[in-house]
Structure 1
Amino acid sequence: MKDINLIPPELKEERQKKKKVALKLFFATFLLGFISLLIALPLAYMNKLYGELKIVNEELNKYRNVSELQQSIKDMSLYLEKKKSIIDKVNKGKIDLAKLSEDVASNLPQDVSITHLKYDNKVLEIEGEALHEGDVAVFMLNLRSINYVEDVKALLIELNEKNVYKYVIQVKVRVVS
């Protein structure tokens, strides 16, 4: 049997046009939705990455602050080492004047007195008076027995009007570290 088509051809064409328009509208909507999805997904992913980048930058800044602090500590340490080396150099060339004057006083014979002490550039100059010239010689020998005394010279020994010997002794001191 043959298919009987009772629908007029105009309606048939109109129905096909409506189907084509509906199909085109469906595909257009689907295409717009797909394109929107293609645009929205990378944007969402980029926002997620920017959030992670912000967190990483904050952590990096914390480490940067720590590294700056470490560099500051290293700089201070180097500065302190320089100052310490300067202090060590000064202390190495320094003579304990209190100990020196104590040693001079302990080696002073009974009839000898000191009127003036002068220390300049590792040289101690002692001025004083003695009753006998031999007492000055004993004092010089006693000074030579001190372990950090390098040399002892008598610059002046003279008898004054009071029958007292006035003397000036120069003592070269070496630095003992």
Structure 2
Amino acid sequence: MIPIKDINLLPEEVYIADARRKKNIARLLLVILFFVVITGVYVQMAKMESVYESKIRSLYASAKERSDMVKGISRIKELQDSITVLKGSVDRIRKSRFDWPGLLNDIAISTPANLSIVNLAADARGMKIAGEAKSEDDIALFIKNLKSLDYIYDIKPALIQEESSGLLSFVINIQFKVK
């Protein structure tokens, strides 16, 4: 006896049509799977492109920021150089100009106790001092003290005369050393 399960009563065309149908379904599934994979790859590439564009924008912004910082540092260096040049100019001007406050301070220190300055006139080449003193020794000490100053070239008494008050009035011409 033949087992029942091996008996097939369907015509062969049905088997061929069923096999074709299964083949078509398999092809359709492969095509759908192909499009799903392609779509997935495209989406992943789009995400990666977006991430890379974001990183590129970030790097560009960072580079621009660093460029601005470099420009700022360059500007600071230019300003420092300008300040150095200006300081040099100020120093040259100070050296070429006469130190009037220092001169007046030195004259005040050089003035003896029994001598007073009544009038003082000056220009870049020299100075004229008029004053009063109790004695000729006070005037001589004043002239000696002034001659010890570095920037004085020559001192000439122009006038010494006795006043009715008993004081001596004097005029001294001072010539400065030229720098």
- TM-score interval for Structure 1 and Structure 2 normalised by the shorter chain: 0.5 to 0.7
Q: Which residue of 2 aligns with 1:30?
A: 33
> How many aligned residue pairs are there?
169
Identity among equivalent pairs (%): 22
CA gap of 1:131–1:16, structure 2 versus 1, over 3 A, is: closer
Unaligned runs of 5+ in 2: 1-6
Using structure 1 for the length normalisation, give the TM-score: 0.63
How many angstroms apart in 2 are the aligned matches of 1:128 and 1:81?
45
Q: Secondary structure of 2:92's partner?
A: helix
CA gap of 1:120–1:113, structure 2 versus 1, over 3 A, is: same
* 1:22, distance to aligned residue in structure 2 (A): 1.2
Q: Which residue of 2 aligns with 1:11?
A: 14
Q: Which residue of 1 aligns with 2:173?
A: 170
* 1:85, distance to aligned residue in structure 2 (A): 2.7
Aligned runs of 1:50-69 on 2, under 5 Å? 50-57=53-60, 59-60=62-63, 63-64=66-67, 66-67=69-70
* 1:20, distance to aligned residue in structure 2 (A): 3.5
* 1:117, distance to aligned residue in structure 2 (A): 0.8
How many angstroms apart in 1 are the aligned matches of 2:64 and 2:145?
71
CA gap of 1:123–1:84, structure 2 versus 1, over 3 A, is: same
How many angstroms apart in 2 are the aligned matches of 1:137 and 1:29?
122
How many angstroms apart in 2 are the aligned matches of 1:15 and 1:139?
137
How many angstroms apart in 1 are the aligned matches of 2:92 and 2:140?
36
Residue 149 in structure 1 maps to residue 159 in structure 2: no
Unaligned runs of 5+ in 1: none
* 1:21, distance to aligned residue in structure 2 (A): 2.0
* 1:149, distance to aligned residue in structure 2 (A): 1.2
